[in-house]
Structure 1
Amino acid sequence: MSEPDIGNDQHSPELTIALELYDNAPCGSISFFKDGTIYAINQTMLTWLGYTREELVEQRTLPSLFRIGGQIFFETHFFPLIKMQGFVNEVYFDVVRKDNSIFHALINAREIPSKSRQKELFQATILDISDRWKYEKELLHAKRKAEADSKAKAEFLSTISHEIRTPLNTILGIGHLLHETPLNENQKEYARLLLHSSENLLSLVNNLLDLSKIEAQKVTLEQMPFHLGELLELMHETFSVRARAKGIQLDISIAKNVPKHLTGDPVKLNQILTNLIGNAIKFTKTGTVQLAVTVEQKKAETYQIHFSVSDTGIGIPPEKLEAIFQEFSQASYDVSVEFGGTGLGLTICQKLLELHQSKMEVKSTLGKGSTFSFSIWYTAADTPSPTKKAKKERRNLLILKDMDVLVVDDNPDNIFIATQYLDQWEVPYATAESGKKALDMVRKRSFDLILLDLQMPKMDGYETARKLRSLPLKTQPVIVAFSASAAGEVADLLEAAGIDDHLSKPFKPKDFMDTLLEHSSHRKKISADNVNLKPSVAASEGQKKKKTKAASEDTPNTVSFKIDRYAKMANNRPEYIKKFVLSTLDAFATYKQDFQNSVKTKDPEGFSNLIHKSTMSFYYIEADRLGSLLMACRDALQDDTADDGTFKKLAAECQAEFDTIIRGLTHIGET
């Protein structure tokens, strides 16, 4: 059906009504020929554009109403697609009015079927989406602002976490140490309360961070054996003091068929129960708080353990039961004022249970109390005998006596806590208050493990680790980061710096000992003379043995590069490894040219730019020596006291290293 003849005044009533509906439709309509010339347009579109019909019909083309970009898109994509499939739906264009202002439009276009093929006819329906566009723009702005606010909050929480955890590490450490010293009964009780209170404070600090970590999917479930009875007993000791102070009875009951030893994530379970029992005591003025633990189901060696925390507290109104699981939410304003709290506890509990494929259930009667319950599947664990446990502890202490540990931290309190444990376990150690001092000590003494603080002035832990790895040591030590940051937050930075493990501040003695034991039998034996070249690809034998006098003290004396990471990424498929290698080879040709230009102009900024853009390529092929040499070149240029000969020697080493890597990559690419 072709467009009606608007100019003909002689129409039947029915056609007149149809023409009026067409002319005043809520959307614009333009009909045009193959060359884009407009041959019909409705009044709605004319009103939007500000033109008269005479100014457009057979005078202008449809594309001429668009901005220049829209005109190009119409010619190259939009119209060819109409010819190909007969229609195009909802394509965005900026339409230009007569006064040169813009309105935002969605255009649907179609080819009009016609028996006569003398002229190909097309029709476009235009929707003015200016209001929607403005709304979407505001939404996008709001989204970006929310993301920026969220990032700022995360950074703030990370900073606050570090500032709080540093003194908290001292409090928790002193609590543990004090508890181990000879004390009278009252003093033991004081030490125990100090220890438990500091642990509860640590739990509160962690709550502030856990929610954002869970939502960012940075929290995973651990699988480790634990003693359920001991966990609940410690919880009873921790909360009974608070319950007694309020005149409340705290009861914990465990069914006889519940296994004592389970495999799962005790930290997450402890966190959930701590929140629930803490809330129950907080919102109960008189009566009882009870934790009941039973077996809900059993399948072979797996048990579905049911936990139920009941109280005789204030209760929750039915209409508020859903709201209590929302972030920063309490049941009412009065509750928030009277009882306080962040309102994060139940939200975190629910999200931690989602990790367990479980869900919190709640029953409550206003004024009579509430019951929170959940179930988690655990696997029964072997029960260690007391004799075996004692033998294991003695064996562990003997193992630790063979280690030599360096503690590096600018905070003397942290050094004091760590070394007190090392003294107890009779572990040989030394201390350093800065990264520079640590480097000096490592040059003079061989250490098995270095406990390294990440947050230090002048030279932080990452830079210290990189410099440690670059030293030409016969035996490289294990480096364990010692930081208030969670391991998941800094995992990439740790790996890039050559750091092997992470110990969070504040730590418990068991965590510290477990870390030492884990690495006692896995000490790194890395040297220039005994590096395993398979499956890695290194320099030639002649290049390996060659040690120029210009070698920097801070550059690693190891293989030039490896392709282990590429092999892992490619699942050892040769065709993909080759693609990765050839791509890196192209990049290295550019890096080498940039290096030579920077040497010629003696431009430290050129070196900085090269180091920055080559970081990922160096990481993937583990070209650590070249990376260190480039940094040494840049530092030599920035050092006013360095002589020109030092820079020339370093540049020559860089050039040789570039040539070695490019030759090696070329060889792999050709095989």
Structure 2
Amino acid sequence: MDKNYNSLKQTDSIRLKAALDLYENAPCGSVVFRNDGLIIAMNNTLAHWLGFKKDEIVNVRTLPSFFKVGGKIYFETHFFPLIKMQGFIHEVYFDMLRKDKSNFHALINVREIPAKESNEATFQATILDVSDRREYEKQLLEAKRKAEADSKAKADFLATISHEIRTPLNAILGIGNLLHNTPLNENQKEYARLLLGSSEHLLSLVNNLLDLSKIEAKKLELEYVSFNLNELITILKQIYSVKASEKGVELRLELSEDVPQNIIGDPVKLNQILTNLIGNAIKFTKKGAITVAISVIQKVKKQVTLKFEVTDTGIGIPEEKLETIFQEFSQASYDVSVEYGGTGLGLTISKKLLELQGSQLHVSSKLNKGSTFSFELNYKIDKKKVNKTAQLLNKKDDVSFDDYKVLIVDDNHVNIFITAQYLDQWRISYVTAKSGTEALSILKKESVDIVLLDLQMPKMNGYQTAEKIRALKLSKKPVIVAYSATTKGEVQNELIKAGIDDHLPKPFQPTELFDLLKMYKTLKQTKGKKKRKSLMKTATLSKKYAKELKPVDNTTIEESFSLERYQKMANNNPKYLRKFIKSSLKAIKDYEGEFKTALKNKDVSGLESLIHQSTMTLYYIKAEKLTSLMKKCKDLIATNDSDTNLKLAIDDCKKEFAIIFEGLKKAKNK
């Protein structure tokens, strides 16, 4: 019996020793501390990491004494109160100070050990040294930042190149159109036709590249304007029916009776998506028909969900290639690319334009039988009276340009020549100016009805010229139409600010210019002032409906801070909520002081440390905007950016600190 007892005792002793050894030399640190933060137990691992002997810490030092200033503040104001409330806290980062004043990144988990009989409650923390992980994360973030910068540089370069190409392309397209309308022999007509066809193809390619670069650079924004869907789709049918009939293919339009006439959304992007899909359908269909169908999925009060389908009887797509067709510069096969041409960008752009609007592009196809591309979009129904602009445009015979004068303002003599040739053909009077200064001089002497204004001019650009035109005290205010290689969506706000009425992108077809002139002439004849005001309300309409229609995955306006997380943590208990707010007020004030000190010394590492220290406090009050601004200041100092940019970033930071501090102060006193 004694022998067995001793054996069991020896086994227990071995187990206990093994357990103690496991605890003392575990791969993670362990510490037990009291309510006042005093450390009452610690394993060898943590003592070794900190560079102390255990007797220099246990019953001598508090846990917060191993944290930096920001960590101490956070421990007292957030970390410890939260442990007391819920009894635990998981995975929070702290920088822990070693004996030699260096630090390591620690990930801390804490649980409360409840009080028993005469023993008070204590807290046990498990600590992991994640310095290597943080360094790896830092490298990953740097790699991500570099990749994003490279992507932006690529997109900006592509946009610049595309922009530069469009200016001479305007001349090629313009000359091609002018040449085509002159007396020519059969060979010359064929040359002109080939020139026009090639320039239109090149324009389509450049537009696709430009759109892709804008999407990748996140510079493409949605517009919210009222438009007539029936008119949009009818015009598309008229345009593409000619191309379809040339191939012996019928283009059909099926519009359900319950589809609203006028809706509010982005007609330009819808037109672009349908243009790509219809163009592709015609390209890959040799016989049969192409059907464009629009139907109502759901209609609730002033909202409608529409389904768009483009179906063809063309070559179809192999099942294994259905996914790859949406990739940039990709087509179903090399043979398809050779036989049918194209870059494979149309579907990619359509897909990304739909994603921008919170939708998806779907495809179903059978080889040698045809394909169907479909998507759904939400719109607000516009129940106001039908827009009569398109009706007015169709009354060609009612428009006379006898008493109409146009001012062409462009620093490029080729652009002036082409536009002037068009106006000569239409017997419309005009004057020309090669600079904004010359245009102002002309307007002081003679009256014009419409100004065609280039935006990219040296010395005085189009925006500045428009502002100066609007400042003139003219008896008759002209309509100002900007024409440039940029699209309207890119410059919408600048156009409105400068007092510019409309926009015509380069290169343009002569019919586009004629329709625009005809529209403004007609509007002038039929209550022009009222109509023009409605055109200028585009931006207001956009703002009014943007919030209502914007997809949930789009970026929203960033607020300075929110107490939502605190309210959840406090379970809406005012006592706890005030305590959290009070502690945050103190922390924000301290952080602001550290921020100013670091800026004064241009201390990048100090800013980096502050950003790290403040992360959790700012996370809990949803003040990530302030974190981003502080990072911006740090980056500007690190890269020796211009003083102007740094000053703007610092001012933004100071404003955020002030907004948050005052907001928390008011919330505390409620």
What TM-score do you get using the length of structure 1 for normalisation?
Answer: 0.62
Contact 1:277 1:289 in 2 (8 A): no
Look up the match of 1:491.
492
Shift of 1:503: 1.1
Say if 1:227 and 1:63 are closer, same or farther in 2 by CA, change over 3 A: closer
The residue identity in structure 1 corresponding to 2:419 is A
Alignment of 1:131-280 (within 5 A): 131-214=132-215, 216=218, 217-218=220-221, 223-224=227-228, 225-226=230-231, 235=240, 250-254=247-251, 266-278=271-283, 280=284
Deviations 1:521-547 (A, max 9, x none): 6679xxxxxxxxxxxxxxxxxxxxxxx
How far apart are the structure 2 equivalents of 1:70 and 1:508? 65
How far apart are the structure 2 equivalents of 1:390 and 1:108? 71
Shift of 1:172: 1.9
Question: Secondary structure in 2 aligned to 1:458?
Answer: coil
How far apart are the structure 2 equivalents of 1:395 and 1:439? 32
Shift of 1:78: 2.8
The answer as to 2:363 corresponding to 1:361 is yes
The answer as to 2:333 corresponding to 1:346 is no
Look up the match of 1:419.
420
Look up the match of 1:392.
395
How far apart are the structure 2 equivalents of 1:80 and 1:297? 57
How far apart are the structure 1 equivalents of 2:454 and 2:38? 73
Contact 2:411 2:434 in 1 (8 A): yes
Deviations 1:452-505 (A, max 9, x none): 111111221122222223333344322211110011111222222222221111
Look up the match of 2:62.
61
Say if 1:184 and 1:237 are closer, same or farther in 2 by CA, change over 3 A: farther
The answer as to 2:437 corresponding to 1:449 is no
Contact 1:309 1:373 in 2 (8 A): no
Shift of 1:311: 4.8
Question: Which sections of structure 1, spanning at least 5 residues, go unmatched?
Answer: 1-8, 242-249, 282-287, 380-387, 525-563, 570-608, 614-671
The residue identity in structure 2 corresponding to 1:499 is I
How far apart are the structure 2 equivalents of 1:41 and 1:256? 78
Deviations 1:561-620 (A, max 9, x none): xxx99xx99xxxxxxxxxxxxxxxxxxxxxxxxxxxxxxxxxxxxxxx9xx99xxxxxxx
Contact 1:484 1:505 in 2 (8 A): yes
Contact 2:281 2:314 in 1 (8 A): no
Look up the match of 2:290.
292
Look up the match of 1:39.
40
Shift of 1:213: 4.0
Shift of 1:38: 1.5
Contact 1:291 1:307 in 2 (8 A): no
Question: Secondary structure in 2 aligned to 1:490?
Answer: helix
Shift of 1:338: 10
Question: Which sections of structure 2, spanning at least 5 residues, go unmatched?
Answer: 1-9, 382-390, 526-538, 545-643, 649-670
Look up the match of 2:52.
51
CA RMSD of aligned residues (A): 4.5
Q: Which moves more between the two structures, 219-228 or 87-96?
A: 219-228
Question: Secondary structure in 2 aligned to 1:402?
Answer: coil
Q: Which moves more between the two structures, 413-422 or 483-492?
A: 413-422
How far apart are the structure 2 equivalents of 1:306 and 1:499? 37
Shift of 1:406: 1.0
Look up the match of 2:103.
102
The answer as to 2:429 corresponding to 1:428 is yes
Look up the match of 1:541.
none
How far apart are the structure 1 equivalents of 2:358 and 2:197? 27
How far apart are the structure 1 equivalents of 2:116 and 2:253? 88
Shift of 1:43: 3.1
Q: Which moves more between the two structures, 468-477 or 499-508?
A: 468-477
The residue identity in structure 2 corresponding to 1:395 is D
Question: Secondary structure in 2 aligned to 1:447?
Answer: coil
Look up the match of 1:3.
none
Shift of 1:407: 0.8
Greater length-normalized contact order (CA 8 Å, ≥ 6 residues apart): 2
How far apart are the structure 1 equivalents of 2:67 and 2:358? 56
Q: Which moves more between the two structures, 188-197 or 332-341?
A: 332-341
Look up the match of 2:114.
113
Contact 1:92 1:106 in 2 (8 A): yes
The residue identity in structure 2 corresponding to 1:164 is I
The residue identity in structure 2 corresponding to 1:363 is S
Shift of 1:40: 0.7
Contact 2:309 2:372 in 1 (8 A): no
Question: Percent identical across equivalent pairs?
Answer: 53
Question: Secondary structure in 2 aligned to 1:204?
Answer: helix
Question: Secondary structure in 2 aligned to 1:292?
Answer: strand
Say if 1:117 and 1:75 are closer, same or farther in 2 by CA, change over 3 A: farther
How far apart are the structure 1 equivalents of 2:395 and 2:341? 46
The residue identity in structure 1 corresponding to 2:485 is A
Say if 1:102 and 1:523 are closer, same or farther in 2 by CA, change over 3 A: farther
Shift of 1:349: 3.6
The residue identity in structure 2 corresponding to 1:105 is A
Look up the match of 1:663.
none
